[in-house]
């Protein structure tokens, strides 16, 4: 008897008809004598709707109450799916995070799962029942409801797969697997049958929305194979597992992009030891994530120009922090650009393939795309460009690296 975790994303449970379709998938697996734990997201759009409702009350809505509000979305889905399974003759029960409980640690709106009790759920699924668990949430040791970040249902599913020692973890979504680029906007995107944790982690963190990056990271740490599948077709999907099982004959696996970037440049910064720490420490304390950093030293060695990128939503807050810190960081002027995007190529085969950087830069030059910043790792190469050039840059790179 196989123990399986099945996770359904918001688009897979976005309507009553889709919830009934998800129930059919579960029943098919249940009828094969599997033990099943299901993790669900809120119905598509529900979380955003709840956020908007909170903003109508206050722009500074309590983080504690926001967690209580947002977790209701997944709870609704859990009950509806359990009811749909019962209607199909499958014994099912929804469990709220506090009933299990799922234990979390950290701040409201940004906690992490540290453990969960397994006895109650294991007993239920061993007695021919399907357990439905809401993703994205848990409770602290003090009984406070917390959420684990947007997209956190993936993290819940992977945590359950680890803690319950399951044999499989299947992630159901509205696409047929992981693609070489976004299939919704690029018709030549190609489904990837197998991908390594490392590649998937890079693609998730660089804008691919199929899986949450922290969930992939957890799966990689504990070597938990994942299977991304479509709720709406029988296509086999994409398997995500350790790099030993991957064919690296293709240099680049995918092209990702994100349009929520902003660029800040500090001109004439006094060049001295610790100046970068003085700039970035206050940002870190306010939970602002700095991505690419470029530094150019002046000919006299006394000043430097420093450029870095952040999330677009953090732009105004970042500028305010830097200006308020001018007694510690002296600079001549500050400029910003919020109409930029990040385009990246990802592939484990890049490690052993020379000329990838040249090939990418030449391709962008042919399309007259100017590069504003560059960041590299062993298996990824990212550039910041003007947002208006995003589509033609992605199309060109997708073709140049034989991904069409």
Residue 246 reports pLDDT greater than 70: no
Question: If you count DSSP H runs as helices and E runs as strands, how many of each does the chain have, helices first?
Answer: 11, 20
Label residue 245 by pLDDT band (50, 70, 90). Answer: low
Nearest Cα to 341, choosing from 182, 197, 184?
A: 182
Q: Which residue has the tokens 């359950």?
A: 160
Are 265 and 131 found together in one domain?
no
In a domain, residue 191? The reply is no
Q: Is residue 115 part of a domain?
A: yes
Q: Are residues 395 and 274 in the same domain?
A: yes
> What pLDDT digit, counting tens, does each position of 304-335 carry?
889 999 999 999 999 999 999 888 888 999 99
Residue 158 binned pLDDT confidence (cut-offs 50, 70, 90): very high
Q: Are both 15 and 108 inside the same structural domain?
A: yes
CATH of the domain at 269: 3.30.2130.10
Same domain (yes/no): 132, 33:
yes
Residue 199 counted as domain residue:
no
- Same domain (yes/no): 269, 166: no
pLDDT in tens, 292-302: 888 887 777 78
Taking Cα atoms as reference points, which of 204, 174, 159 lies closest to residue 37?
159
Give the pLDDT confidence of 6-20 residue by residue, as tens digits.
999 999 999 999 999
* Number of domains within the chain: 2
Q: Is residue 188 part of a domain?
A: no
**What are the tokens at 216?**
């992939």
Dump pLDDT digits (tens) for 24-82: 999 999 999 999 999 999 999 999 999 999 999 999 999 999 999 999 999 999 999 99
Of 123, 158, 174, the residue at which a domain comes to its end is: 174
Q: Are residues 278 and 388 in the same domain?
A: yes
pTM of the entire predicted model: 0.81
Among 155, 174, 193, the domain-final residue is: 174
Asked whether residue 223 is assigned to any structural domain, the reply reads no
152 plus 27 within the same structural domain:
yes
In a domain, 327, yes or no: yes
Intra-chain end-to-end CA distance of the chain, in Å: 41
Domain finish residue from 174, 199, 225: 174
Please report whether residue 341 resides in a domain.
Answer: yes
Closest CA to 326 of 394, 269, 402: 269
Has residue 200 been placed in a domain?
Answer: no
Range of the domain at 325: 255-400
- pLDDT tens per residue across span 191-217: 999 999 999 988 887 767 788 888 898
Q: Distance (Å, rounded) from C-alpha 116 to C-alpha 139?
A: 10
Distance CA 212, CA 157 (A): 11
How far is residue 10's CA from residue 179's CA, in Å, rounded to a whole number?
19
């Amino acid at each position: 008897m196989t123990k399986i975790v099945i996770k359904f994303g918001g688009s897979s449970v976005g309507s009553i008809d889709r919830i009934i379709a998800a129930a059919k998938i579960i029943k098919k697996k249940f009828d094969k004598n599997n033990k099943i734990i299901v993790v669900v997201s809120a119905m598509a759009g529900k979380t955003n709707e709840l956020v908007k409702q909170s903003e109508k009350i206050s722009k500074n809505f309590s983080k504690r109450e926001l967690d209580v509000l947002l977790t209701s979305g997944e709870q609704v889905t859990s009950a509806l799916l359990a009811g749909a399974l019962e209607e199909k003759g499958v014994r099912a029960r929804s469990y709220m995070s506090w009933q299990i409980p799922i234990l979390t640690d950290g701040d409201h709106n940004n906690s992490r799962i540290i453990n969960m009790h397994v006895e109650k759920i294991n007993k239920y699924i061993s007695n021919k029942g399907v357990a439905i668990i809401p993703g994205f949430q848990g409770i602290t040791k003090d009984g406070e409801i917390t959420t684990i970040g947007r997209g956190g249902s993936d993290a819940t599913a992977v945590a359950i797969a680890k803690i319950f020692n399951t044999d499989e973890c299947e992630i159901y979504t509205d696409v047929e697997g992981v693609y070489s680029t976004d299939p919704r906007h690029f018709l030549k995107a190609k489904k990837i049958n197998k991908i390594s944790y490392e590649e998937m982690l890079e693609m998730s963190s660089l804008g691919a929305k199929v899986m949450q990056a922290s969930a992939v990271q957890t799966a990689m740490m504990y070597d938990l194979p994942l299977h991304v599948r479509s709720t709406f077709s029988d296509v086999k999907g994409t398997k995500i597992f350790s790099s030993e099982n991957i064919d690296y004959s293709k240099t680049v696996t995918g092209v990702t992009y994100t349009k929520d970037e902003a660029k800040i440049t500090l001109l004439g910064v006094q060049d001295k030891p610790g100046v970068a720490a003085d700039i970035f420490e206050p940002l870190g304390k306010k939970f602002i994530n700095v991505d690419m950093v470029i530094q150019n030293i002046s000919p006299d060695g006394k000043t430097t120009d420093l450029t870095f990128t952040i999330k677009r939503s953090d732009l105004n807050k970042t500028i305010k922090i830097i200006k308020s810190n001018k007694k510690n960081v002296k600079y001549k002027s500050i400029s910003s650009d919020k109409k930029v995007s990040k385009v990246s190529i990802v592939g484990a085969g890049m490690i052993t393939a020379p000329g990838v950087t040249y090939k990418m830069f030449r391709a962008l030059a042919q399309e007259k795309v100017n590069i504003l910043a560059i960041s590299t790792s062993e298996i990824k190469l990212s550039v910041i460009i003007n947002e208006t050039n995003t589509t033609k840059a992605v199309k060109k790179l997708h073709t140049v690296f034989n991904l069409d």
